[in-house]
Structure 1
Amino acid sequence: MTINLSGAKSHLRIDYDDDDVLIQLYIDAATLHAERYLRRDFATEYPDALPRPIEVAILQHVAEMYRDREANQKEAGTVPPLMWFDLLSTYRVFS
């Protein structure tokens, strides 16, 4: 199970629909980034719900990308927030 659009919009404190496609793109990208970093398949390993730290990490990454969406910095939105690594580190598979 992954983050849904309404949950992300609530986290971002957005109540309009203008950016729904963009926010969903960020959810998909942040989720895939977390899956690859952790070396896990969320749909298989967490079919009912993601562990809260993983969910928060994805939401933080979505918020970072959304906030920096128009920044002209080369690295804007490409590097997850520092807290992201702390939240995910205990779930990472190294083998």
Structure 2
Amino acid sequence: MSDYFGAVTLDAAKKQLRVDYADEDELIVTYIMAATAQCEQICGREIVKRSDENALCDSVDDVPEAVRTWVLLTVTDLYEHRGASESPIATGRRFYDHLLDGYRIF
């Protein structure tokens, strides 16, 4: 997982999801990466720096709590609504989307 650029660790996501087994680690990492990519699109910059000079931080340990919380809540939505044709993610802005407002580049 050397090219991992998620905004939260697998351990943090598993704690959020209350998952204490490894069977779904790959799925959870996929959700972390999807949530991080969505977060980067909303913010207009990388969260954990890979090549963007405007990246929010240099490592996953430095991700601001509001961004970390947004990613964890999005991972939770993806995990809990997997297989659903319509979820809170698809139906518009969620109450916690405002957590990213201070980190967006316009």
Q: TM-score range by the shorter chain?
A: 0.7 to 0.9
Residue range with higher mean Cα deviation, 76-85 or 10-19: 76-85
CA, structure 1 residues 58+32, in 2 after alignment: closer, same or farther (shift >3 Å)?
same
Q: Does the aligned pair in 2 maintain the 1:3–1:27 contact within 8 Å? A: yes
Q: Cα RMSD between the aligned structures?
A: 1.9
TM-score by length of 1: 0.85
Name the structure with the higher helix share: 1
Normalising by structure 2, report the TM-score. 0.77
1:81 is displaced (CA, Å) by: 6.5
Q: Which runs of 4+ in 1 moved over 3 A?
A: 77-81
Aligned residue-pair number: 92
Asked whether the 8 Å contact 1:5–1:20 carries over to 2, the reply is yes
Give 1:18 shift: 1.1
Q: Distance in 2 between matches of 1:28 and 1:81?
A: 20
* Aligned match of 1:62: 75
Structure 1 residue runs without a partner (length 5+): none
